[in-house]
Structure 1
């Protein structure tokens, strides 16, 4: 039993480290992750490396066709639009419902304070607290099904944020100001305003990322 738990924890640790390297932009879209090289780098068995890569394929951070090397996913403009559209459907309704009780999540407040304090720091440092902010809103809804639905999307959300921040498309000051306005609307019981600001916040990021992709050479700009 303990042996099984140890194997699982090694796979989980490997998944966590690879996910962090992808979302931090160290492993850029298109980077190949070969099973044997992952096993050697992390000093784990090939089956363990394979399990970790399979897990990342499952959350769409990696892509791999039959008998091919796993690669960090390259999001297309259509992918980005669909991810942000799905986020807006979930998050806009969440903030509308939170506003009914003026329920401002403490986790979102703390995360936004952290973003505000990152002014002048490397843009990619915003990704972690930005994810925490939005996840805190969804979790505060108190619905396990809503949380699970959002969890399916969360790594692709992180990938979008990684590309936005990797290109320096939004700064911490603007992000924290937009977040603060959303929280103020929730606290003021103005659900429609909170929902509108949330959708505008996401649309701003979506538009900037797609414009950036269109201007960049390569398959992702097609």
Structure 2
């Protein structure tokens, strides 16, 4: 048997590729919350085994964007207001600690090496807003928050925060809060200034504001 070369790159598994494809469809809003995800149908559509489908769905269930129940199968998660509030509370805890660690290291005036990646992410958000592409806007918005958390230099906090991202993207795939064009980028430039001076209180105020807008949009007659 020929040994595997050390520099050989191992590609993604079929289950990982399927999970990526399903995640993209779900987070782009192509599959509605509560819609069933039938193993046999997915296996036929993607030309894979049902075992591969089950593995992919289990990965998405771990991200909490798919719900699986015995004898009922899997379906796209439907996040209610209680789930939204719990999600934002956990995000707030992680982002508050990340901001605290960054401020502990750099004080209330973060150096350019910290702020420049955040500013670049906000620039990406501004470009996404100019395009009017809502899925692109939600992803760019998530990147801003991910970059703020990454500035703390804590891999565990960054990993835990990243695991929450799919849930909020799923919610926003079907709900568009009332943000005037360009408002998100403007808000997040101000947010960066606020978190440097006010820390956790700025994080909580920011997330409370977004939670209120999301809840209002969900209750609107025009919501999906």
What TM-score do the two structures reach when normalised by structure 2? 0.82
Alignment of 1:1-222 (within 5 A): 9-100=13-104, 101=106, 102-103=110-111, 104-118=114-128, 119-164=130-175, 167-171=176-180, 173-185=182-194, 189-190=196-197, 192=198, 194-215=199-220
Q: 1 CA distance for matches of 2:162 and 2:206?
A: 20
- Larger mean Cα displacement after TM superposition, 206-215 or 122-131: 206-215
* Higher share of residues assigned helix: 1
Aligned residues: 210
Shift of 1:105: 4.5
State the distance in 2 between where 1:172 and 1:47 align: 45
SS class of match (1:169): coil
In structure 1, list runs of 5 or more residues that go unmatched.
none
The CA deviation string for residues 158-205 of structure 1, in whole angstroms up to 9 with x for no partner, is 2233344xx35334511111211122345xx52x1x543332222222
Q: Deviations over 1:20-61 (max 9, x none)?
A: 111111111011111111112212121111110111112211
Contact kept, 8 Å, 1:61 with 1:156, in 2: the verdict is yes
Larger radius of gyration: 2
Offset at 1:120? 4.7
Unaligned runs of 5+ in 2: 5-9
**Distance in structure 1 (CA, Å) of the matches to 2:153 and 2:166:** 21
RMSD after superposition: 2.6
Question: Any conservation in 2 of the 1:30–1:71 contact (CA below 8 Å)?
Answer: yes
